[in-house]
Structure 1
Amino acid sequence: MEINPTVTFKHDRTVMFGKRPKVLIVGGGLGGLTLGILLHKASIPFEIYERVIEVKPFGAAMYFNCTTANFFKQCGIYEEFVALGKPISAMHICNEDRELEFSIDFEGHDEMYGADGYMFSRPQVYDLLLRQVPPKRIHFGKKVLTMEQGGNGVLVRFSDGTEAEGDILVGADGAYSAVRQGLYEKLKKANKLPASDALPLPFSTVCLVAQTNPLTLEEFPDIALEKSRLINFIGTNKMYSWSTTTTAQNTICWDCTLFLDEETSKDNDSFRCSEWGAEAAMSMCEDIKDFPVISGGDKIVTVQDLIDRTPKELISKVMLEEKVFKTWYNCRTVLIGDGVGGSNAMHDAIVLANRINGLPFHPVAEEIEAAFKAYKKERIDWVGRASDNSRAFVTMVGQSTSSRITRYILKHTPSWAMRRLERRQFTHRPQAAFLPAVEDKGSVKTAPQPSLTIKTPVEAQQPTLTQAV
């Protein structure tokens, strides 16, 4: 297919057979899979292209709550989803002497927001979502080389020599999105890219994420607790924080964050564009092996005990980078999941699916871009809040003066004030407009969702033979 940017169409939809736009999704992570699931349920044609040949089971812990519960309920997999997780009632902040400094309470979320929060290991959530996508719709080993778009469609070329054609291109491929880089390169040449979007991604931390094998009660008594035990440790006179989380599978998801200064930033810059993998993690394991952890028993346990019980392929060193970009779309290309967490990418996917589903049959580029504009308008404030929350958490567990002040404030903040802060995040409980609505029983009402009012287009009546002639 030849993409001609100057081609435009003036459709007479009364004499054309109904055609939904075909969506090409680059990136098979949580956001890409969520969008694929929703498009499948909306009977909108789509294909997912993932660069890796096989998705590795990275051991990161993930927190999901009321903000994604409606999606799982609408898809009919909420019970299965909850069974994979472990409910959580608090996050505990401890010092290096294994002493509790303070806790952040999560109790009462079901009554207030309609669903409790749960802790998961990332592979459990990923596998559940993957099972909802028809296998023929997801293609692995597809690394994007080039992309073109214009009035008559999009064309993506992959490193294996294959091509894909469609009407919409979605970049859901992470912090170093090939779709975003390709789009931004073209916009920059045309002097249409904001200067801030051309800057490199900022990073100030390096993180080790891992998951142990299933443990016994003798090894880690806390795994027997009904609710997940999430403990964050703050280092003393060291630029680290680390955490442990118990899972429903009797494993421990653990991580360690190194807060970078000017010198350590240079040392770690080589990992900026590298893939997650165990090879880069071993030296960091050596640095943190003596850090204390809490098992719930009398035995003194350190990170080394977790390392010994963790398969090497489940230990990964990653760069934590975050930035809210100004440019989200252009013509037929749109981006989701701008680097502020898995839940945020899923929220993007829900709203974008509503906007795509609301497009008329045979949409032209201008109609598609207008839908993308509305998608960004609906999501931008929530993404900003998610980014603020993420930065606040990093500050809270950090080693700076601001970190110490933040912890002091949180320690002395009354529970009613913490509830008010929660509402900024937990009133956002999006749903798909084209699936049966979930009754939101939370006493704290959900925030307005503009895309929830969008209707599925009605196909124009097909012409009779006489009309066609």
Structure 2
Amino acid sequence: MEINPAVTFQHDRSVMYAKRPKVLIVGAGLAGLTLGMLLHKAGIPFEIYERATEVKPLGSAMYFNASTAPLFTQCGIYEEFLAIAKPVFTMKFCNEDREVEYMMHFREHRELFGAEGYIVSRPMLYDVFRKQIPKECIHLGKKVLTMDQGGNGVLIRFSDGTEAEGDILVGADGAYSATRQNLYAKMQKERRLPAGDCLPLPFSTIYLVGQTRPLTAEEFPDVEIPDCQFRTSVGTNKPYAWKTFTTAQKTVCYMAMQFLDDESSKDNDAFRNSEWGPEAAAAMCEQVKDFPVVSGGEKKLTIGDLINWTSKDFISKVMLEEKVFDTWYDCRTVLIGDACHKFNPSGGVGGSNAMHDAIVLANLINGLPFHPIAEEIENAFKAYKRERFEWVKKAFGNSAMFRTMAGPSLPAKLVRYVAKHVPAWAMRRAELRILSYRPSVAFLPPYEDKGTHKPVFQPSLSARAPVETEAESKASAEASPKSSSEEESTAKAV
């Protein structure tokens, strides 16, 4: 198939068979899997292409609040999610003496928003999502080289010499998205790319992340507590902070964060990539091994103990970039998740926002007419960005604040002081603003939100599939003659 950008179709849908657009998804991460799961439930053809030959969802734990409860419930996986997750009722901020300096409380989230927040092991969550997608729809070892798009479709070429064609291309391939790079290169050549999108991804931190084997109560007493023991420790006179989380599987997930200055940024620039992998982790393990952690017992443990309880395959070092791109789509290509907005993980909102992107985009793709032309597809993408962009910017700001809170700088100390003394009503107000956005899937059974603080209006929830639109039009047409006949009978009777 050759893509000619100049080709457009003025087709007559009345003489065509009903055909939904075929969606090509690049990236089998959380964003790509969520979108694939939703398209599968909508009956929309799709394929997922992943560059890795084996999907290894490395890393630590992920946090999901009430804003993703509608998705899990509507897709019928909420109970499965709860079975592998642990509720989070408090977040404790500690010093190097293992003392709790202050706490943030989330116990009222179920009453306010209909669900608690949960910590879940990243690899286990991926398994839940992958089971929702037919195996034949996920293709591994597919590294994207080039892409073309135009009025008659999209075409992507892979490094193994194969090609794939479809109607819509979704870049869900992470911070260093090949889809975005191809798209931006063409737009920049045509002088259509904003200057800010041409700049490299900025970064200020690197992370060591890992997850231990299941631990006993003797080794780490906190693993027996029903709710997640979520602790953030801030280094004294050192550019480090670290977090620990207990999971439902009695493992301990941990993240050690190094704040970079100009010199350390240069030293670590060689590790800049979008892959969660164990490479280069050994040196950082040595740097952080003596940092104290709280276990709930009298024995004084360190991150080194957690590292010793962790398989090397479950430890990785990553560079954490932070940026919200301005360009999210063009023609038949659209970006979701880290490909268009990369958050620092300190805020714990990267995964949920990737899911929110997938929900809104799936709603709008499902609302496209049969045989959509490029203009109709791009209009759907425009509506997707319009709904998501402001919420993404708010989430980005919150993530940056949580990252700053754990830092060694004077502004960080001021933020921690304010957080420690902020009135409860002010904290509640911030939570109400953030968690008022709880998007639902338009084409699945409605979600019954039991929170006292109802979700805000969601534009994409009104999107309807073409079959639904046709059925509504037919029902309306059938009802009209009946109404006229009834009016005539009434007039005659009078």
**TM-score calculated relative to the size of structure 2:** 0.92
Aligned to 1:278, what secondary structure does the other structure show? coil
Aligned to 2:323, what secondary structure does the other structure show? coil
Query: 1:220 — aligned with what?
Result: 220
Shift of 1:370: 0.5
CA distance in 2, matches of 1:423, 1:321: 28
1:419-434 equivalences in 2 (<5 Å) = 419-434=428-443
Query: 1:15 — aligned with what?
Result: 15
CA-based RMSD: 1.0
Q: Could you tell me which of 413, 428, 434 is aligned with 1:404?
A: 413
Does residue 89 (structure 1) correspond to residue 93 (structure 2)? The answer is no
CA distance in 2, matches of 1:192, 1:411: 46
Shift of 1:279: 2.8
Percent identity, please.
65
Aligned to 1:183, what secondary structure does the other structure show? helix
Shift of 1:460: 6.7
Which has the greater radius of gyration?
2
Deviations 1:76-120 (A, max 9, x none): 110111111001101000000111110011111111001111111
Query: 2:489 — aligned with what?
Result: none
Q: Which runs of 5+ in 1 are unaligned?
A: 462-469
Query: 1:441 — aligned with what?
Result: 450
CA distance in 1, matches of 2:93, 2:447: 35
Query: 1:117 — aligned with what?
Result: 117
Deviations 1:386-430 (A, max 9, x none): 101110110111111111000000000121211101122111100
For 1:407, the aligned partner's letter is R
For 2:432, the aligned partner's letter is R
Aligned to 1:24, what secondary structure does the other structure show? strand
Query: 2:481 — aligned with what?
Result: none
Q: Is the 8 A contact 2:176 2:274 kept in 1?
A: no
For 1:59, the aligned partner's letter is G
Q: Could you tell me which of 358, 368, 377 is aligned with 2:367?
A: 358
**TM-score calculated relative to the size of structure 1:** 0.97
Q: Which portions of structure 1, spanning 4 or more consecutive aligned residues, are displaced by more than 6 angstroms?
A: none
Q: Is the 8 A contact 2:334 2:381 kept in 1?
A: yes
Q: Is the 8 A contact 1:14 1:460 kept in 2?
A: no
Q: How many residues align?
A: 461
For 1:436, the aligned partner's letter is P
1:73-84 equivalences in 2 (<5 Å) = 73-84=73-84
Aligned to 1:317, what secondary structure does the other structure show? strand
Query: 1:316 — aligned with what?
Result: 316
Deviations 1:336-384 (A, max 9, x none): 0122311111100000000100000000000000000011000000110
1:60-209 equivalences in 2 (<5 Å) = 60-209=60-209
CA distance in 2, matches of 1:333, 1:400: 41
Query: 1:394 — aligned with what?
Result: 403
Does residue 414 (structure 1) correspond to residue 417 (structure 2)? The answer is no
CA distance in 2, matches of 1:108, 1:423: 11
Q: Is the 8 A contact 1:289 1:302 kept in 2?
A: yes
Deviations 1:213-248 (A, max 9, x none): 000110000000010000000000000000110000
Shift of 1:456: 1.1
Aligned to 2:465, what secondary structure does the other structure show? coil
Structure with the larger helix share: 2
Deviations 1:8-38 (A, max 9, x none): 0112111110100000000101110000000
CA distance in 2, matches of 1:297, 1:286: 24
Shift of 1:274: 6.4
For 2:35, the aligned partner's letter is L
Deviations 1:168-219 (A, max 9, x none): 0000000000000000000000000000000000000000110000001100
CA distance in 2, matches of 1:66, 1:277: 30
Does residue 346 (structure 1) correspond to residue 355 (structure 2)? The answer is yes
